[in-house]
Amino acid sequence: MTTPDTARHTPNSMDGNPTIDERANHCFGCGPANPQGLHLAFTTDTSNPEAITATCHFQLDRMHEGPPGYIHGGIVAALLDEAMSKLNRPLNVLAMTRHMEIDYLRPVPLYQPLVLIGRHLNRPAKDGTPGRKLFHQAEIQHPDGTVLARSKGLFIAIDEKLLFAAGITPPEA
């Protein structure tokens, strides 16, 4: 006999009604409380609402090695996904990655300061209101500006009902 898996997949310490920010504390990409995480810290620039950006300066070591001396391709994807996802909050939306594509243009080196930049592209309106699809892009750059990897992503705004079903309290507006 099989039993449905109805667990919330969260540790007991998250019992209660954690906000999305409390949950995000353990995010592999940016959560300060995740000892194995990447601890990425972004600065967002919203001065041009049509072209919001999120920028992070980072450097990784052998923990994240793929090809000798270079960052693992899955970690490159995680970096790009994280940079794109950081554009959602400044746009006042909680959203999840639905689709992303990556160009691995050059191997991405370990032990070197690199730049990760996410850029909001557009959010097509539906029936005169902002739609639930958000299109972003991201790049990993060498400090001299050479683009090492590039992504495009589709994010879908999450309905608050889904958040409540997952036991998450949305942030205050």
Binding residues for ligand MYA (CB under 6 A):
20, 81, 85, 94, 96-99, 133, 154, 156, 158, 162-163, 166, 168
Please state the closest distance from residue 155 (CB atom) to ligand MYA, in A.
7
Residues 62 and 10 sit within 8 Å (Cβ to Cβ) = no
Q: Which is nearer to ligand MYA, 18 or 107 (CB)?
A: 18
What gap in Å lies between CA 99 and CA 7, rounded to an integer? 26
Q: 73 phi and psi, to 5 degrees?
A: -60, -35
CA separation (Å) from 116 to 13, 55, 98, 107?
32, 6, 21, 15
Q: Which is nearer to ligand MYA, 60 or 168 (CB)?
A: 168
Please state the closest distance from residue 146 (CB atom) to ligand MYA, in A.
26
Q: Which is nearer to ligand MYA, 77 or 107 (CB)?
A: 77
Those residues with Cβ within 8 angstroms of residue 59's Cβ, 6 or more apart along the chain or in another chain: 111, 112, 113, 114
Q: Which is nearer to ligand MYA, 81 or 139 (CB)?
A: 81
Please state the closest distance from residue 35 (CB atom) to ligand MYA, in A.
20
